[in-house]
Structure 1
């Protein structure tokens, strides 16, 4: 477990977990689970765009995810129901991205690595990118914690306290796009939403304050990443899905324990 590539994989998983789990608390509080899924699916279109233009993968995914999130946010309430709009945007962007990738010639593409992650192939540059994105997300959440929390609870209350709910929504959207862009290498497009939601959902049963929930979610996300990597190494299973399976088992276990305690 102390080979170089395994150490890099562990550090990458921890970096993504520390950024995704606290952000997932806001996703749960705002009931934006499907929103996160739609943003993650649009990353496939960003991958196709990056490969076509020979641009950095992180940049292409980040731009497309931001455009998708901003488009959905701007169209909501203008004759479109949120769930319908997210359903159309999520599956359409995934399908268009997969079709666009199939048209690329002269480019060798491991589509499974993009869809389900390839954490064992994380290199030093990927590690710098993942931790840089994670620190940016954690910095944004810490800096705007009060505004994000008040906007989540009540937009009128946030306005009366001097916060702009639309601005806080934009910060949350940017953070979500950054997490999607850095998490592709770890868990892939189809499992990013699980890294956002599952640790936060598990932490909810044992939290009495929002701050406690965010910290417990970060700890549980880190535990899932490290444990999933070790189990994957010992049982020779796909690493990204194994990390999510550990999170799912932890969610079932925490809810079972909570019901017994209650």
Structure 2
């Protein structure tokens, strides 16, 4: 079964869906959309460094994503003007990454795959890493769920309950960095934040509890992966953008159901 490239792509997308739903819910609750963009765009610089030093793409992406996530988290703690700061970091990281890749022999031809994903080229090793990483991040979120939810909804009440919001913010930042590294082959650096935000935003108006929102967001992400891949197969469209387009359709439908 795993010899079928479409099956491997579907399994990779479903593995990623398990974690982008819950993690994306926190991104929506905390209004961290630009945070996700900054970390995701920095992934391209990680790809360039990995190619230059001949190491794993996942390792290079994870290293740079962790540095960016920690930097942004530290700036948030210091009360910086985050919209401007994140905009600068996000676009600068992407620009430096694309420039760096241009110096790596043979990498220019693969640039679109890193920007928009190449899920149909996922191999068995990629599949193992994606599922292992997704389950580890999902386990971390479940373990810290109550603390993360409390600090996301009201930091002052969380502090009164003995929860340090800075610790929870850093945990989310590191989890986000891992997911960015996992998703680079699936939807690419430009679309990772969309897969975090769109399914969670679609689920937000249809549920009444954080747990149900996270579960529904994961389900919407899984349906988007499935629908996007089948559309890509039958209409011959790029797989990564097709997945995000399917998620966008789900968001529109959720708004219609919400109004109804």
Trace 1:137-156 onto structure 2 (pairs within 5 A).
137-156=137-156
What are the ranges of 5 or more consecutive residues in structure 2 without an aligned counterpart? none
What are the ranges of 5 or more consecutive residues in structure 1 without an aligned counterpart? none
- What TM-score does the superposition give when structure 2 sets the normalisation length? 0.96
CA separation in 2, counterparts of 1:148 and 1:122?
32
CA separation in 2, counterparts of 1:76 and 1:192?
21
- What TM-score does the superposition give when structure 1 sets the normalisation length? 0.95
CA separation in 1, counterparts of 2:106 and 2:119?
25
The yes-or-no answer on 1:201 pairing with 2:208 is: no
State the partner residue of 1:228: 228
Deviation at 1:76, TM superposition (A): 3.2
Trace 1:17-36 onto structure 2 (pairs within 5 A).
17-36=17-36
State the partner residue of 1:60: 60
Deviation at 1:54, TM superposition (A): 1.0
Q: Secondary structure at the match of 1:31?
A: coil
Superposed CA RMSD:
1.6
The yes-or-no answer on 1:215 pairing with 2:212 is: no
Deviation at 1:155, TM superposition (A): 1.7
Distance change in 2, residues 1:255/1:149 (3 Å): same
Distance change in 2, residues 1:187/1:156 (3 Å): same
CA separation in 2, counterparts of 1:79 and 1:224?
36
Deviation at 1:174, TM superposition (A): 0.8
Trace 1:62-141 onto structure 2 (pairs within 5 A).
62-76=62-76, 78=78, 80-105=80-105, 109-141=109-141
Which digits, 9 at most, give the CA deviation of each residue in 1:24-57, with x for residues without a partner?
0000000001110111000000001111111111
State the partner residue of 2:189: 189
Where do 4+ consecutive residues of structure 1 move more than 6 Å?
none
State the partner residue of 1:165: 165
Tell me the matched-pair count.
260
State the partner residue of 1:180: 180
The yes-or-no answer on 1:252 pairing with 2:252 is: yes
Deviation at 1:240, TM superposition (A): 0.6
